[in-house]
Amino acid sequence: MGKAMIVGVGMTRFGRHPDTHFTRLAAEAIEEALADAGMDFRDVQQAFCSRVYLPSSTGARVMEVMGRTGISCPDVEGACGAAVAGLRQAVMMVEAGQVDIALAFGVEKIGKGFMPPHILYEDWQCQMGMTQNPQYWALNAARHMHDYGTTAEQIAKVAVKAKRNGVKNPKAFFQREMTVQEVLASPLVTDPLRLYMLCSPVDGAAAVIVVSDKIAHRYGSRPVEVAACVHTVSRYPLLNASSFCSTPSGHPSVYASTSASAYEAASIGPEDFDLAEVQDNDAFSELEYYEELGFCAKGDGGRLIDDGATDIGGRLPVNTSGGLQAKGEPLGASHFGQIYEIVHQIRGQADQRQVDGARVGMAQVFGAWGHCGVSVLKQGW
Ligand code: COA
C-alpha cells in the first residue's frame, strides 16, 4: 500500500456568506487548494464532496463551476463527521493506487440559530422537549461536573482560549477576545451551557488535495503525510449522550476506540502530538476530549485548561485555529478546516498561532448518530 500525502489545502473564511452561492464557496476553497499545490483542476482524477444540509448532488453542482472534466464526484454525508468520511475515501483510493490525485472538499450553508430538530432527532425525543444538540451536551457536562468536580469557570476558560486563538486566525468567524466573566454572564441556553460556550452554525468551505507519495515531490512545497484517517459509527445509540463516554464498567467510548485505531495505524501515541484540533461544539466537550483522546487521565480535563497545558506555548496546544468556538461550524467542511490548520502548523505557516517545532498533529470530529473520526498528520519529508 502506498502513502497518501497532502500537497494543497484551501479554506474560505467561516461565517455568514448570505450572498454567495454554495458552489462559489466550494470553488473558492478548491481554487486556493489547487494554487497551494501548484496544480491544475484538470489533473484531479477523483473528487469527494462532503455536505449535510445542502441539496442532493452538491458535488456535481460544484463541478459545474470548476469545469466538468468528467471525474467522479459523489456526495458524502455523515453529520459533523461528513468531512472525515470524505477525506478517508480520498486517502483510501490514493493508498490503494486507484488514483494518484484526489480532491476532498466540504461545503455548507446553514442559517443562524438552532438546527431543524426533526432532521436530527426521533419524534419521541422532540415530544419530550429534547429537540436541540446543546441539551444533550449540557447533560454530559452536568454529569462530568457532578462526577469530577469540573467547574463552570473551567468550561468558560475553554471558550476564552478559543476566542483568543481565533483573533489570530483571519479565517475564523468571531474576531473578539472575551473574559471568563463575560462568557459566564452570556445568556443561559441550557444549564450549564451559555451562549458564548456554544459554536455558531455558519457557512463555509474547505478543500484538501491528496496525492500518492510517488508524485508528491511534483506539487506544493512541503507535503504532509496522512499517517491515519479513521471514521467509525459508534456501537451505542445516541439516545443518551453520556453513552458515548468511557464507562466505569470498562466500555471504551467511540472517541477512545476511534482514536486508538488511528494511533495504532499511525504507530504513535497521544504523547507524540505537537498539537490537536478537537470538535469543540460546546466548550465543555473539549475538556471531555482531552480525557477520551488520552491527553490526560479521566476527570483531569479541567486541570489541563487551568494549567494552560493546551494554550499555544503549552505542553499540547489544542484548537490553535480557534476551534469551532471561534470559527463556527459549517458541518460538511468542519474536519477539512481542522486539516487546514494542522497542515499550516506543520509547514510553519501559522503566523501568530504557530506552535514551535510542530511536526505531528491530530484532528478529531464527532457527529450526530455516532459518527466519529480521527486523522493523524505528520511532516512528510
Ligand atoms: N461567541 C461569540 N458570540 C456569539 C457566540 C459565541 N459562541 N454565539 C453567538 N454569538 C453571538 C452571535 O454572533 C449573535 O451576534 P449578532 O447579533 O451581533 O449577530 C448573538 O450572539 C446572538 O446569537 P444568535 O444569532 O442567536 O447566535 P447563533 O446563530 O450562533 O445561535 C445557538 C445560537 C445557541 C442557537 C447556536 O449557537 C447553536 O445551536 N449552536 C449549536 C449548533 C450545533 O448543534 N452544531 C452541531 C451540529 S451536529
Does residue 105 contact residue 340 with C-beta atoms inside 8 Å? no
188 has pLDDT over 90: yes
The stretch 342-355 carries a mean pLDDT of 98
Contact in structure between 306 and 157 (CB atoms under 8 Å)? yes
Is residue 189 within 6 Å of ligand 1 at its C-beta? yes
Answer yes or no: is the C-beta of 115 below 6 A from any ligand 1 atom. Answer: yes
Q: What angle do CA 328, 333, 338 make, to 5 degrees?
A: 75
- The answer on pLDDT for 206 being more than 90 is yes
> Once rounded to an integer, what is the mean pLDDT over residues 90-104?
98
| % the chain with pLDDT above 90 | 86
**Dist. CA 381–CA 373, nearest whole Å:** 25
Look at residue 284 and tell me whether its pLDDT is greater than 60. yes
- The pLDDT score that the predictor gives to residue 246 is 56
Q: What is the DSSP string of 122-186?
A: -HHHHHTT--SHHHHHHHHHHHHHHHH---HHHHHHHHHHHHHHHTT-TT-S------HHHHHHS
What one-character-per-residue DSSP string does 73-136 give?
--EE--GGGHHHHHHHHHHHHHHTTS-SEEEEEEEE---SSSPPHHHHS-HHHHHTT--SHHHH
Average pLDDT, the chain: 94
**Residue whose CA lies nearest to ligand 1 atom number 3:** 196
pLDDT score, position 115: 87
* Amino acid, single-letter form, for residue 72: S
Dist. CA 73–CA 37, nearest whole Å: 20
pLDDT given at position 249:
57
Q: At 181, list the grid cell.
A: 466573566
- Residue 23 scores a pLDDT above 70: yes
- Among positive and negative, which fits the CA dihedral 148, 151, 156, 161? negative
Query: What is the per-residue pLDDT for 116?
Result: 83
What's the pLDDT band for 13 if we cut at 50, 70, 90?
very high
Which domains, ranges and CATH numbers included, belong to the chain? Answer: 4-113+201-218 (3.40.47.10)
Q: Best of 53, 195, 369 to mutate for ligand 1, by most ligand atoms within 8 A of CB? A: 195
Question: Ligand 1: which residue has its CA nearest to atom 7?
Answer: 196
Mean pLDDT score, 352-379: 96
Q: How far is the CA of 7 from the centre of ligand 1 (A)?
A: 34
**Residue-wise pLDDT tens digits, 293-305:** 999 999 999 999 9
**Is residue 247 predicted with pLDDT exceeding 90?**
no
Ligand 1 atom with minimal separation from the 367 CA? 48
H or E, element range at 66? helix 58-66
With a 6 Å cutoff on the Cβ, whether 4 touches ligand 1 is no
Residue 248: pLDDT band with limits 50, 70, 90: low
Per-residue pLDDT, 244: 55
Q: Is the pLDDT of residue 166 over 50?
A: yes
Q: Looking at per-residue confidence, does 117 or 69 come out higher? A: 69
Cβ-proximal residues to 81 (8 Å cutoff; 6+ apart), any chain: 231, 335, 365, 366, 367, 371, 372, 373
Query: Which pLDDT score, from 0 to 100, does residue 240 have?
Result: 47
pLDDT at res. 37: 98
Least confident of 112-126, 234-248, 314-328: 234-248
Whether pLDDT at 17 is above 70: yes
Q: What is the pLDDT of residues 109-164, one digit of tens each?
A: 998 889 888 888 889 888 999 899 999 999 999 999 999 999 999 999 999 999 99
Q: In degrees to the nearest 10, what's the CA dihedral of 263, 267, 269, 270? A: -50
Measure the CA–CA gap between 18 and 192, rounded to whole angstroms: 32
